[in-house]
Amino acid sequence: MFSQIFKFFVIIHFLHAPLLSSPRTEIFLKENWLFQRGQNNGAEQVGFDDSEWEPVTIPHDWAIKGPFDREIDIQDVRITQNLEQEASEKTGRTGALPHIGQGWYRKTFDLPDLKDDQKVLILFEGAMSEPQVYLNEKKVGEWNYGYNYFYFDITDAILRDEPNLLAVHLTNHPQSSRWYPGAGLYRNVRLIVKDKESIDQWGQFVTTPQITDDWAKVNVKTRFSGEGLSLVTTIFDMENNIVAKHEAEPPFGNEFDQNILIDQPKLWSPETPYLYKAVTKLLKNGVLKDEITTTFGVRTIEYNPETGFSLNGQVRKFKGVCLHHDLGPLGAAINKTALRRQMRIMKEMGCDSIRSAHNMPSIEQLELADEMGIMFLAESFDEWAKPKVPNGYNRYFETDAEKDIINLVHATRNHPSIVMWSSGNEVPDQHGSDGVKRAKWLQEIFHREDPTRPVTVGMDQVEAVMENGFGAIMDVPGLNYRVHLYEEAYERFPQGFLLGSETASTVSSRGIYKFPAEKLKHVTHPDNQCSSYDLEYCNWSNLPDDDFVLQDDKDWVIGEFVWTGFDYLGEPTPYQGIWPARSSYFGICDLAGLPKDRYYLYRSRWNTESPTLHMLPHWNWEGREGETTPVFVYTSYDSAELFVNGKSMGVQKKHGATPQNRYRLMWTDVTYEPGTIKVLAYDENGDPVAEKETHTAGEPYQIILEADRTELIANGEDLSFITVSVVDKNGIPCPTATNRLHFEVSGAGVYRAACNGDATSLEMFHEPTMKLFSGKLVVIVQSTNESGEIKLSVSGNGLKAESIQLVSTSETVI
Ligand code: GAL
């Protein structure tokens, strides 16, 4: 929302002496920061010597360059939510990257034009963690929770005649997280300069309380500071036509309350993400004092005991994924292009919703969800008062929970994509009456701040919450796993529906298959990988097919959020105590964003626009000749025939004998012989409609590059993701290749990072070399501020090298 608000005004990306345009100026503090790790006593002081500090740009993650180290943040814990009976040493739980410790950022800026009737806010969209903010040696504020958005009024500390020194101190404690949290100023920081008489920060709330086919009532509540002011709101459609203009009645106290009619409204949904814009002007005696733009959508949400969830009056089930905030090889440093790619990959799978596990989503992600059409379950906490890790949120819960929820709701409530809040994930407070009280308290804060959306908690202690009333008070009871308890919970809870707030936690490594292909709970293998036959899961979790049964057979299940859409840094279950393993195996896509086989299992159900036909495993099994090598097909078609070197292995049809038989086509007794396997899918009349082939590849011969985008914006942060693979002499992809490759970028771009999706790899992402994993990796190229051509060249010993040309053009600033 922030980038949409104020977009008619000057947007300045770095600053020496900006022109303060009336009525407000938004100044991104991106460039010319200095960073240093360590305590650095006195770093907030003007004369402090920072000449040796590292120049950085924001967003920045100080730990992502590693190196990986098993000794970092070793946690000797018993993870009760994983049903562990005793404590054991956990390596890699927080990513084995050096995020722990203290860090300082310093930056100077000038504001010579600041007028007496103006004020200055500094806004952080997140800072990891415990930021202490100093301006000109004066402490101007602090915020504990690293994931939240916060701002301070710094007017009194600003200097006009000399440079201002901003200094931010951050601390990450050991044992404070269950995943990689990132480190530093990993989200945007900005100054907002505006009139003292102006609209309050996050002071506008736009809702659409009544919608019919012919009209919508748009309610706009606007809080402000000042006296004798009037307010006008104009609503624009997506083509920039004015659809309504409304002058507010005099305010009650410091809030204007407008009801505005839109004729023939176009509704927001994942399929039709239509957005309107409200431009609000605050005036005094006809003079403009302030102006903001809020993007909003017209849509209804309803959660009903009879029908479950509906959007715009249509019943639907969430086809959702949980996502942690890190962007794999980019670490936690926010990047909108990387987020857009993630969301595009998820949408192409048919996914229509995301749960921000287990904290506030970035503003950029919500903007994209609005634009691209993805519903959002915005979560807040992984801990309340009772700890999961000793230095987690439990230390601030009593003092901070209310203000953290207020900021979450105020900063994000105008995003139509958000359809539900979550006040917690698997909090140990599910046990005991204090926990029930906390659940009620938090839910009431959400209701008070936003009466339009319900609240859930991801509950894993299902027996306890059925017993003590915790589950009964939630607006939306969310179950994490525990498929065997869905029926009983539905019976015992009063709501009449259940959400699979977290499902599956199936583990797999892209392109790795283990034999025999069998259903296995919490198994480990000597290579620290998991099988992509998608039959391995955890003590507490289950296979995707078990969730599908409930989703398909029970009207009262309102959808699921799969753990997880992408692999993330940290939590390398089932290898939490085994080195090397530093990122997760849960993802539908790997850490590089490359789809694993499971992607197509979900796609075959969720994508109703285009058919799915996907076959596994690969067919390069040197040494397995004559051995049983099952072939699975994930498809939206009901039946298919498999051929090995032209010989039919018979027709398989989906049937209900087991959940796997219902959702997968499986030929379990295929004998491996090199050559070609082919699957031929049949429609309901038995006519062949689609086919796919996999060939045994020869030796790696040539490098192949495929860019997701070839035209970049020359803004120093746009990205192209280039998938690198190798093929043999006949152009057949080599699925087991592990060749070392080297990357070189020239022209108007820089090499940013590479990732191969191997959770055991200790190679650093920012080094311009990496080994292929299962025949693939992804290289990320970043634009500079210069426009021009960019060339990426990829080479490897004994391989035919390849290069690709990209182009970057200057950004159009409105
Ligand atoms: C859940 C938890 C997630 C993640 C997942 C792994 O219990 O909510 O954060 O740990 O298990 O299966």
Is the pLDDT assigned to residue 6 strictly greater than 60? no
Closest by Cα among 90, 115, 101 to 24: 115
Residue nearest to atom 12 of ligand 1 (CA): 505
- Between CA 34 and CA 32 the distance in angstroms is 7
Cβ of 195 less than 6 Å from ligand 1:
no
The pLDDT of residue 463 is 97
- 42 found inside a domain: yes
Structural domains of the chain, count: 5
- 76 found inside a domain: no
Phi, psi of 483 (to 5 degrees): -60, -30
Is the pLDDT assigned to residue 15 strictly greater than 90? no
Ligand 1, residues 90, 505, 541, 575: which to mutate, most atoms within 8 A of Cβ? 505
Q: What is the average per-residue pLDDT within 199-212?
A: 98
* Tens digit of each residue's pLDDT (9 = 90 or more) over 172-190: 999 999 999 999 999 999 9
Residues 103 and 236 in one domain: no
Last residue of a domain, one of 243, 269, 296: 296
Q: What is the average per-residue pLDDT within 296-317?
A: 98
Cβ atoms of 411 and 315 within 8 Å: the answer is: no
Q: What is the average per-residue pLDDT within 100-109?
A: 98
Cβ of 635 less than 6 Å from ligand 1:
no
699 as an active site residue: the answer is no
Is the pLDDT assigned to residue 299 strictly greater than 50? yes
Q: What is the average per-residue pLDDT within 663-687?
A: 97
322 C-alpha to ligand 1 centroid (Å): 10
Q: What is the average per-residue pLDDT within 723-745?
A: 98
- 721 found inside a domain: yes
- Between CA 353 and CA 365 the distance in angstroms is 12
Is the pLDDT assigned to residue 651 strictly greater than 50? yes
Cβ of 567 less than 6 Å from ligand 1:
no
- 510 found inside a domain: no
> Residue 45: CB partners within 8 Å, gap ≥ 6?
137
Q: What is the average per-residue pLDDT within 523-543?
A: 97
Cβ atoms of 300 and 313 within 8 Å: the answer is: yes
The string over 448-459, giving b where at least 16 C-beta atoms fall within 10 Å of a residue's C-beta and e elsewhere, is ebbeebbbbbbb
The pLDDT of residue 396 is 98
Q: 130, 502, 571, 763: which is the annotated catalytic residue?
A: 502
The pLDDT of residue 813 is 41
Cβ of 541 less than 6 Å from ligand 1:
yes
Residues 249 and 166 in one domain: no
Q: What is the average per-residue pLDDT within 739-761?
A: 98
Coil, helix or strand at residue 812: coil
Cβ of 379 less than 6 Å from ligand 1:
no
Q: What is the average per-residue pLDDT within 337-352?
A: 98
Mean pLDDT, the chain, whole residue set: 96
Is the pLDDT assigned to residue 405 strictly greater than 50? yes
pLDDT-based confidence at 650, cuts 50/70/90?
A: very high
The pLDDT of residue 17 is 61
CA angle 416, 418, 424 (to 5 degrees): 165
> Residue 474: CB partners within 8 Å, gap ≥ 6?
439, 443, 455, 456, 457, 459, 495
Return the ligand 1 atom nearest residue 81 CA: 7
CATH number at residue 139: 2.60.120.260
CA angle 511, 513, 516 (to 5 degrees): 170
Residue nearest to atom 3 of ligand 1 (CA): 563
Q: What's the Cα-to-Cα distance from 434 to each of 470, 473, 708, rounded to whole Å?
A: 10, 14, 50
Cβ of 136 less than 6 Å from ligand 1:
no
Q: Looking at per-residue confidence, does 512 or 8 come out higher?
A: 512
Residues 629 and 749 in one domain: no
426 as an active site residue: the answer is yes
The string over 769-807, giving b where at least 16 C-beta atoms fall within 10 Å of a residue's C-beta and e elsewhere, is ebbbbbbbbbbbbbbbeebeebebebbbeebeebebebb
Residues 364 and 387 in one domain: yes
Cβ of 426 less than 6 Å from ligand 1:
yes
Residues 654 and 756 in one domain: no
Last residue of a domain, one of 296, 313, 329: 296
Residues 380 and 283 in one domain: no
Last residue of a domain, one of 243, 261, 296: 296
- 148 found inside a domain: yes
Torsion (CA) 752, 755, 761, 766 in degrees, nearest 10 = 0
pLDDT-based confidence at 19, cuts 50/70/90?
A: low
The pLDDT of residue 84 is 86
The pLDDT of residue 276 is 98
pLDDT-based confidence at 13, cuts 50/70/90?
A: very low
Q: 26, 426, 449, 560: which is the annotated catalytic residue?
A: 426
Residues 325 and 473 in one domain: yes
CA angle 617, 620, 621 (to 5 degrees): 90
Q: Looking at per-residue confidence, does 739 or 7 come out higher?
A: 739
Residue nearest to atom 2 of ligand 1 (CA): 426
The pLDDT of residue 315 is 98
78 C-alpha to ligand 1 centroid (Å): 14
* Tens digit of each residue's pLDDT (9 = 90 or more) over 591-639: 999 999 999 999 999 999 999 999 999 999 999 999 999 999 999 999 9
- 84 found inside a domain: no
Q: Quote the tokens at residue 384.
A: 């309340």
Residues 349 and 467 in one domain: yes
Return the ligand 1 atom nearest residue 541 CA: 12
Coil, helix or strand at residue 403: helix
- 137 found inside a domain: yes
Residue nearest to atom 4 of ligand 1 (CA): 563
Residues 167 and 313 in one domain: no
Residues 567 and 674 in one domain: no
The pLDDT of residue 811 is 67
Q: What is the average per-residue pLDDT within 753-775?
A: 98
CATH number at residue 675: 2.60.40.10
Is the pLDDT assigned to residue 149 strictly greater than 70? yes
Cβ atoms of 756 and 764 within 8 Å: the answer is: no
Cβ of 81 less than 6 Å from ligand 1:
yes
Q: What is the average per-residue pLDDT within 286-296?
A: 97
Phi, psi of 405 (to 5 degrees): -70, -40
Report DSSP letters for 141-202, one per residue: EE---TTS-EEEE-GGG--SSS-EEEEEEEEE-TT--SS----BS-S-EEEEEEESSEEEEE
The pLDDT of residue 774 is 98
pLDDT-based confidence at 368, cuts 50/70/90?
A: very high
Residues 578 and 663 in one domain: no
- Between CA 591 and CA 776 the distance in angstroms is 12
Residues 191 and 204 in one domain: no
Closest by Cα among 476, 665, 481, 662 to 558: 476
Is the pLDDT assigned to residue 11 strictly greater than 50? no
The pLDDT of residue 332 is 98
- Between CA 135 and CA 143 the distance in angstroms is 15
- 516 found inside a domain: no
553 C-alpha to ligand 1 centroid (Å): 25
Cβ of 40 less than 6 Å from ligand 1:
no
Asked whether the CA dihedral 753, 349, 690, 544 is positive or negative, the reply is positive
Q: What is the domain extent for residue 316?
A: 301-505+540-586
Is the pLDDT assigned to residue 7 strictly greater than 50? no
